Structure 1
Amino acid sequence: MEIRQMENFIVVCEELHFTRAADKIGISQPTLSQQIRALEDELGVPLFDRVGKKTVLTQAGALFLEHCIQMVRHLQNTKDAMAELRNDQRGELVIGVLPSDLDYRITPLLVDFHAVFPKVKLKLVSSVYVLNQVLENEADIGIWLASVPDERLIRIPLCSEEYVLVVSGNHDWADRDYIGIEELRHIETVMFPEGFTGRELVDSYCRKYGFTLNTIMETSSATSVISLVKANIGGTVMPYPLIEAMNEPALRCIRIKDDPPYRNLEIIHRADRFLTQSAKAFIQKSIDYFNHG
């Protein structure tokens, strides 16, 4: 049994279609089918069934897939470890980050890391799907909001951040330091679209008090949200440290009294992923930065 056979088997499981899988791998469909038959002969069990025109995994196939993923991952971990030893801290580190934090928040962290690991290529991926990127091995590390426990992940708390109402200096409420929770329902807002992580957190908070925000404009860009708020189109609700990092004198932050919403940031990586020394250093620098930066 060869590692290439296992890798190709994983692709077939992802596609559940031999022709598409063969095209994705770059080999002919008959060659791929022959590889799968060879695996089935070696294991002594069928790995796939045909149900009508559909290809489905057998119970044995599902079990074999679980172990194939582990073996391929262990091999990649070994290669990563050897490459680190051979290349003197070279290589690439892929980090998944929420878009607004990447745009406004973590530049000093990246500069500090590069000063210590100048040979390591950092690839920053801006996404609202950081959790999935880490789980699917598309990112080595993710900076993400706290979520439900998952045994596949190592989760390290970074910080807890208070949300505030943000308005233009020309807004009617610009001279206020605090507002009550109920007052949030009376202000027109500019927000991220429904489904975005920060929007969901704020919406859930408002629902707890029996109302929804009066959102008159939605945009998926943090830069656009802030520009619209500065133009006095409406207010928005964002984490205070994020607004503070923007250093925009035209903005005013108004705290929400008694029970403001918070977001809890974590740094995450797969529990079975080999961490290079540079990856471990990035994690530690992130902890220090978000706690003291």
Structure 2
Amino acid sequence: MELRHLEYFLMLSKELHFTKAAEKLGISQPTLSHQIKMLEKEIGYSLFNRVGKRVELTKVGEIVQQETLNIRDSIQSMSSQITALSKVEIGELKIAVLPGEITDLVSTLCIQFNQLYPNIKVIIETTDQVEKSVLQNKADFGIDFQLNPNDLLEVTKLYDEEFYLISNEKSDTQNISFSSALDGPLILFPSIHQCRKLLNKTSCEIGKPFEPIVETSSIRSILNLVRNGVGRSIVSRTLYEFYETEDLFFQHIDKPSLNRAVYLVMKRNCFINYAAREYIKLLVSEIEKLHFHIEKEAIDSLHSVVL
């Protein structure tokens, strides 16, 4: 049974006249008669009683008519839902990110995304296993810093970022050594954050332990505490750029410098839905606007494949 047979049947059940139904369908009357006979043969019952040039539905025809109308409605509903999904009118977007400051970046972009697509539900999964979430289809894509080689993943380096020492007092120098940055009271993220893990690792490498005076997961709290002179902090450029920091001052950290790469992680050869593509567009646009050190070839490739 083909959908066109049901389409012909519905038109004939509406017009109850072979010639008129054939004209509206754009086919010949003999063709319509043949197609209806094929449908009746497949069902095993007559669907119409022929009364001269006019026809009337049989009892079986009435049943088929109702069920065919149900089928048509279901197809229309399916088509509407697929169209809506493709235009991000419904559905959800799932993003996997590492615990810490990158969550602030993702969450901040959600404000703009929600303004553009208010009916899309955004789920941000904070996890130490971003790659696993992507591979298990728990996330449409992920944002990660440290990656293990995996042939099942499509990984794009978005940008390199450095870390700043920030304070409420302007310094005479633009740069400061990592060892000197650890001197004095520090306000930092807890050890679970990726930024703090990098600080802890680097301090161990140079043999200079440190103990923050305040630990908090809130970037706003960190900025306010620094603003009020409680201490200094070390934050990624991402966070420094994304929040109101015009009244604060920063120094580049060197000897050694603190840098990390930020990666976009997707499942290889997997369909990237419209919602994910639109969010990634916002992310890339924001990165380019802030003039981060980006991998041009990688971004160009991302534009051609995803965006």
TM-score w.r.t. the length of structure 2 is 0.57
The aligned counterpart of 1:134 is 134
Quote the residue 1:111 is aligned against.
Answer: 112
Q: Which residue of 1 aligns with 2:168?
A: 168
2:270 aligned with 1:265: no
The answer as to 2:250 corresponding to 1:249 is no
Judged with a 3 Å threshold, the aligned counterparts in structure 2 of structure 1 residues 149 and 254 are, in CA distance, closer, same or farther, namely same
SS at match of 1:142: strand
CA distance in 1, matches of 2:193, 2:179: 23
Structure 1: how far apart are the matches of 2:95 and 2:85? 20
Cα distance change on mapping 1:143 and 1:270 into 2, 3 Å: same
Aligned counterparts of 1:87 and 1:152: Cα–Cα separation in 2: 26
Q: Which residue of 2 aligns with 1:62?
A: none
Aligned equivalent of 1:181:
178
2:194 matched to which residue of 1? Answer: 197
Does structure 2 conserve the Cα–Cα contact (< 8 Å) formed by 1:96 and 1:134?
yes
Is the CA contact 2:105–2:238 (under 8 Å) kept in the aligned structure 1?
A: no
Aligned to 2:65: none
Q: 1:126 to 1:275 in 2, by over 3 A?
A: closer
- For these two proteins, the number of residue pairs brought into alignment is 208
Counterpart CA distance in 2 for 1:232 and 1:144 is 33
Deviation readout 1:220-259 (Å, 9 max, x if unpaired): 2222222222222221111124212212233211112353
**Unpaired runs of at least 5, structure 1:** 1-81
* CA pair 255-275 structure 1, distance change in 2 beyond 3 A: same
Alignment partners' CA distance in 1, 2:248 and 2:125: 25
Residue equivalent to 1:215: 212
Match of residue 22 from structure 1: none
Q: Which residue of 1 aligns with 2:272?
A: 275
* Distance in 2 of aligned mates of 1:145 and 1:83: 36
Classify the secondary structure of the residue corresponding to 2:212. strand
Distance 1:199 1:206 in 2: 10
Q: What residue identity is the alignment partner of 1:155?
A: V
Greater C-alpha Rg: 2
Give the 3-state SS of the residue equivalent to 1:155 in structure 2.
Answer: strand
| Contact 2:153–2:268 under 8 Å retained in 1 | yes
Instruction: Assess, with a 3 A threshold, how the Cα gap between structure 1 residues 110 and 95 changes in structure 2: closer, same or farther.
Output: farther
Q: Which amino acid aligns with 1:179?
A: I
CA root-mean-square deviation: 3.2
Q: Percent identity?
A: 21
In the alignment, structure 2 segments of 5+ residues that lack a partner are: 1-79, 291-307
Q: TM-score scaled to structure 1, two decimals?
A: 0.59
**Secondary structure in 2 aligned to 1:224?**
helix
